[in-house]
Structure 1
Amino acid sequence: MTEPAFFVLTALVGAPRHGYGIVGEVRDLSQGRVQLKVGTLYGVLERLVADGLVALDREEIQQGRLRRYYRLTEPGSEALAAEAGRQEANAQVASRRLRALRPAGTGGSA
Protein backbone atom coordinates (compact mmCIF):
# COMPACT_ATOMS: atom_id res chain seq x y z
CA MET A 1 0.00 0.00 0.00
CA THR A 2 1.37 3.40 -0.93
CA GLU A 3 1.84 6.10 1.67
CA PRO A 4 -0.83 8.35 0.07
CA ALA A 5 -3.33 5.45 0.02
CA PHE A 6 -2.53 4.66 3.66
CA PHE A 7 -3.21 8.25 4.71
CA VAL A 8 -6.36 8.57 2.56
CA LEU A 9 -7.78 5.48 4.26
CA THR A 10 -6.73 6.83 7.66
CA ALA A 11 -8.37 10.19 6.88
CA LEU A 12 -11.67 8.42 6.21
CA VAL A 13 -11.75 6.58 9.54
CA GLY A 14 -14.75 7.80 11.50
CA ALA A 15 -16.47 10.04 8.97
CA PRO A 16 -16.99 10.53 5.23
CA ARG A 17 -15.02 13.40 3.71
CA HIS A 18 -14.96 15.30 0.45
CA GLY A 19 -11.81 15.75 -1.64
CA TYR A 20 -10.46 18.94 -0.09
CA GLY A 21 -11.32 17.62 3.36
CA ILE A 22 -9.27 14.50 2.64
CA VAL A 23 -6.33 16.59 1.37
CA GLY A 24 -6.31 18.65 4.59
CA GLU A 25 -6.73 15.65 6.85
CA VAL A 26 -3.89 13.78 5.11
CA ARG A 27 -1.65 16.84 5.51
CA ASP A 28 -2.50 17.01 9.23
CA LEU A 29 -2.18 13.28 9.89
CA SER A 30 1.19 13.10 8.14
CA GLN A 31 2.40 16.28 9.87
CA GLY A 32 2.88 17.86 6.46
CA ARG A 33 4.99 15.05 4.97
CA VAL A 34 2.28 14.02 2.49
CA GLN A 35 0.96 16.90 0.38
CA LEU A 36 -1.65 15.50 -1.99
CA LYS A 37 -2.45 17.42 -5.13
CA VAL A 38 -6.08 17.14 -6.22
CA GLY A 39 -5.19 15.08 -9.33
CA THR A 40 -3.14 12.66 -7.23
CA LEU A 41 -5.92 12.39 -4.66
CA TYR A 42 -8.54 11.43 -7.23
CA GLY A 43 -6.20 8.87 -8.78
CA VAL A 44 -5.74 7.28 -5.34
CA LEU A 45 -9.48 7.44 -4.65
CA GLU A 46 -10.33 5.81 -7.99
CA ARG A 47 -8.00 2.92 -7.22
CA LEU A 48 -9.34 2.55 -3.66
CA VAL A 49 -12.94 2.59 -4.94
CA ALA A 50 -12.09 0.02 -7.64
CA ASP A 51 -10.53 -2.18 -4.94
CA GLY A 52 -13.63 -1.86 -2.74
CA LEU A 53 -11.72 -0.14 0.08
CA VAL A 54 -13.55 3.18 -0.28
CA ALA A 55 -17.06 3.97 -1.54
CA LEU A 56 -18.87 7.09 -2.67
CA ASP A 57 -20.99 8.13 0.31
CA ARG A 58 -22.99 11.00 -1.20
CA GLU A 59 -22.87 13.97 -3.53
CA GLU A 60 -23.88 17.51 -2.61
CA ILE A 61 -23.99 20.80 -4.45
CA GLN A 62 -22.24 23.54 -2.51
CA GLN A 63 -21.75 27.03 -3.93
CA GLY A 64 -22.71 25.70 -7.34
CA ARG A 65 -20.09 22.93 -7.32
CA LEU A 66 -20.53 19.20 -6.95
CA ARG A 67 -18.88 17.85 -3.82
CA ARG A 68 -18.40 14.08 -3.53
CA TYR A 69 -18.01 12.51 -0.12
CA TYR A 70 -16.16 9.22 0.28
CA ARG A 71 -16.34 6.72 3.12
CA LEU A 72 -14.20 3.84 4.31
CA THR A 73 -15.71 0.40 3.68
CA GLU A 74 -15.34 -2.62 5.97
CA PRO A 75 -12.71 -4.16 3.62
CA GLY A 76 -10.97 -0.76 3.66
CA SER A 77 -10.91 -0.75 7.45
CA GLU A 78 -9.51 -4.29 7.44
CA ALA A 79 -6.84 -3.38 4.86
CA LEU A 80 -5.85 -0.30 6.87
CA ALA A 81 -5.58 -2.33 10.08
CA ALA A 82 -3.41 -4.92 8.31
CA GLU A 83 -1.15 -2.23 6.86
CA ALA A 84 -0.84 -0.45 10.21
CA GLY A 85 0.15 -3.77 11.80
CA ARG A 86 2.71 -4.40 9.06
CA GLN A 87 4.22 -0.95 9.50
CA GLU A 88 4.31 -1.35 13.27
CA ALA A 89 6.09 -4.72 12.97
CA ASN A 90 8.62 -3.22 10.55
CA ALA A 91 9.27 -0.30 12.90
CA GLN A 92 9.82 -2.71 15.81
CA VAL A 93 12.40 -4.66 13.80
CA ALA A 94 14.25 -1.46 12.90
CA SER A 95 14.10 -0.18 16.49
CA ARG A 96 15.48 -3.44 17.88
CA ARG A 97 18.39 -3.36 15.45
CA LEU A 98 19.12 0.27 16.27
CA ARG A 99 19.03 -0.41 20.03
CA ALA A 100 21.43 -3.32 19.55
CA LEU A 101 23.82 -1.02 17.66
CA ARG A 102 24.03 1.59 20.46
CA PRO A 103 26.56 1.03 23.24
CA ALA A 104 24.83 0.54 26.61
CA GLY A 105 24.25 3.76 28.53
CA THR A 106 24.79 6.20 25.65
CA GLY A 107 21.11 6.80 24.91
CA GLY A 108 21.97 7.03 21.23
CA SER A 109 22.03 10.83 21.01
CA ALA A 110 24.95 12.63 19.52
Structure 2
Amino acid sequence: MDKKIERVYVPMTESAFYILFALQEERHGYDITQVTKELTAGQVVISPGTMYGTLSKMEKDGLIVLVGEEGKRKLYRLTALGREVLDLELARIERLYRNSKGERYGNENRS
Protein backbone atom coordinates (compact mmCIF):
# COMPACT_ATOMS: atom_id res chain seq x y z
CA MET A 1 0.00 0.00 0.00
CA ASP A 2 1.15 3.50 -0.84
CA LYS A 3 2.19 5.32 2.36
CA LYS A 4 0.37 8.44 1.14
CA ILE A 5 -2.94 6.53 1.08
CA GLU A 6 -2.25 5.23 4.58
CA ARG A 7 -1.46 8.75 5.87
CA VAL A 8 -4.61 10.18 4.28
CA TYR A 9 -7.02 7.52 5.52
CA VAL A 10 -5.65 6.15 8.82
CA PRO A 11 -6.94 7.20 11.27
CA MET A 12 -10.18 7.86 9.44
CA THR A 13 -13.28 9.82 10.22
CA GLU A 14 -16.37 7.95 11.38
CA SER A 15 -18.08 8.78 8.10
CA ALA A 16 -15.21 7.37 6.02
CA PHE A 17 -15.10 4.27 8.24
CA TYR A 18 -18.79 3.52 7.86
CA ILE A 19 -18.69 4.16 4.12
CA LEU A 20 -15.87 1.65 3.64
CA PHE A 21 -17.42 -0.77 6.13
CA ALA A 22 -20.77 -0.67 4.31
CA LEU A 23 -19.10 -1.16 0.93
CA GLN A 24 -18.01 -4.66 1.80
CA GLU A 25 -21.19 -5.30 -0.22
CA GLU A 26 -22.29 -3.41 -3.33
CA ARG A 27 -24.30 -0.37 -2.27
CA HIS A 28 -25.35 3.08 -3.37
CA GLY A 29 -25.04 6.24 -1.28
CA TYR A 30 -28.53 6.20 0.19
CA ASP A 31 -28.13 2.56 1.19
CA ILE A 32 -24.80 3.36 2.88
CA THR A 33 -26.57 6.10 4.86
CA GLN A 34 -29.29 3.70 5.97
CA VAL A 35 -26.84 0.96 6.97
CA THR A 36 -24.81 3.48 8.96
CA LYS A 37 -27.90 4.75 10.79
CA GLU A 38 -28.87 1.16 11.62
CA LEU A 39 -25.38 0.13 12.82
CA THR A 40 -25.03 3.22 15.01
CA ALA A 41 -28.63 3.42 16.27
CA GLY A 42 -28.90 6.80 14.54
CA GLN A 43 -25.84 8.29 16.25
CA VAL A 44 -23.91 8.69 12.99
CA VAL A 45 -25.74 10.33 10.10
CA ILE A 46 -23.77 10.96 6.91
CA SER A 47 -24.97 14.04 5.04
CA PRO A 48 -25.32 13.85 1.25
CA GLY A 49 -22.45 16.33 0.78
CA THR A 50 -20.11 14.27 2.95
CA MET A 51 -21.29 11.03 1.35
CA TYR A 52 -20.78 12.02 -2.26
CA GLY A 53 -17.57 13.96 -1.63
CA THR A 54 -16.09 10.98 0.22
CA LEU A 55 -17.26 8.48 -2.40
CA SER A 56 -15.68 10.60 -5.13
CA LYS A 57 -12.37 10.88 -3.26
CA MET A 58 -12.30 7.17 -2.39
CA GLU A 59 -13.03 6.24 -6.00
CA LYS A 60 -10.25 8.54 -7.25
CA ASP A 61 -7.84 7.03 -4.69
CA GLY A 62 -8.75 3.47 -5.71
CA LEU A 63 -10.39 2.37 -2.44
CA ILE A 64 -13.76 1.79 -4.08
CA VAL A 65 -14.97 1.15 -7.60
CA LEU A 66 -18.17 2.00 -9.44
CA VAL A 67 -19.78 -1.32 -10.40
CA GLY A 68 -23.04 -0.21 -11.99
CA GLU A 69 -26.16 1.86 -11.67
CA GLU A 70 -29.72 1.33 -10.44
CA GLY A 71 -31.62 4.10 -12.17
CA LYS A 72 -29.86 7.28 -11.07
CA ARG A 73 -28.08 5.57 -8.16
CA LYS A 74 -24.45 4.55 -8.58
CA LEU A 75 -23.39 1.26 -7.00
CA TYR A 76 -19.95 1.01 -5.43
CA ARG A 77 -17.92 -1.72 -3.77
CA LEU A 78 -14.62 -2.00 -1.93
CA THR A 79 -11.43 -2.75 -3.89
CA ALA A 80 -8.49 -4.80 -2.56
CA LEU A 81 -6.81 -1.51 -1.56
CA GLY A 82 -10.00 -0.39 0.19
CA ARG A 83 -10.05 -3.69 2.10
CA GLU A 84 -6.42 -3.11 3.19
CA VAL A 85 -7.23 0.38 4.43
CA LEU A 86 -10.35 -0.85 6.26
CA ASP A 87 -8.36 -3.68 7.86
CA LEU A 88 -5.70 -1.20 9.06
CA GLU A 89 -8.38 0.98 10.62
CA LEU A 90 -10.12 -2.00 12.23
CA ALA A 91 -6.79 -3.14 13.73
CA ARG A 92 -6.21 0.40 15.05
CA ILE A 93 -9.68 0.51 16.62
CA GLU A 94 -9.22 -2.96 18.14
CA ARG A 95 -5.85 -1.88 19.62
CA LEU A 96 -7.49 1.20 21.15
CA TYR A 97 -10.24 -0.95 22.62
CA ARG A 98 -7.79 -3.52 24.05
CA ASN A 99 -5.66 -0.75 25.53
CA SER A 100 -8.71 0.86 27.12
CA LYS A 101 -9.34 -2.45 28.89
CA GLY A 102 -5.78 -2.58 30.23
CA GLU A 103 -4.54 -5.12 27.69
CA ARG A 104 -1.13 -4.71 26.10
CA TYR A 105 0.16 -6.24 22.88
CA GLY A 106 -2.77 -8.62 22.69
CA ASN A 107 -2.18 -10.02 26.20
CA GLU A 108 -4.50 -9.41 29.08
CA ASN A 109 -3.22 -7.46 32.05
CA ARG A 110 -3.30 -10.05 34.86
CA SER A 111 -2.94 -7.93 37.95
- The TM-score with structure 1 as length reference comes to 0.78
**AA of the residue aligned to 2:47:** K
**AA of the residue aligned to 2:14:** E
- Alpha-carbon distance in 2 for matches of 1:34, 1:78: 23
Asked if structure 2 preserves the Cα contact closer than 8 Å seen for 1:56 and 1:69, the reply is yes
Asked if structure 2 preserves the Cα contact closer than 8 Å seen for 1:11 and 1:25, the reply is yes
- Which residue of the partner structure matches residue 8 of structure 1? 19
**AA of the residue aligned to 1:68:** K
- Which residue of the partner structure matches residue 35 of structure 1? 45
| Deviation of 1:37 (Å) | 1.2
1:19 equivalent in alignment to 2:29: yes
- What secondary structure, in the 3-state scheme, does the structure 2 residue paired with 1:96 have? coil
Consecutive unaligned residues in structure 1, runs of 5 or more: 105-110
Superposition pairs of residues 1-110 of structure 1, within 5 angstroms: 1-13=12-24, 15-61=25-71, 66-96=72-102
| Deviation of 1:31 (Å) | 2.5
- Alpha-carbon distance in 1 for matches of 2:43, 2:60: 26
Q: Report how many aligned residue pairs link the two structures.
A: 94
- Which residue of the partner structure matches residue 3 of structure 2? none
- Structure with greater strand percent: 1
Counting aligned pairs with the same residue, the percent is: 40
Asked if structure 2 preserves the Cα contact closer than 8 Å seen for 1:7 and 1:30, the reply is no
Rg comparison, structure with higher value: 1
The runs of 4+ residues in structure 1 deviating greater than 2 Å are none
Query: Deviation per CA, 1:52-82, whole angstroms, max 9, x where unpaired?
Result: 1111110232xxxx11111111111111011
- What secondary structure, in the 3-state scheme, does the structure 1 residue paired with 2:73 have? strand
- Alpha-carbon distance in 2 for matches of 1:69, 1:53: 14
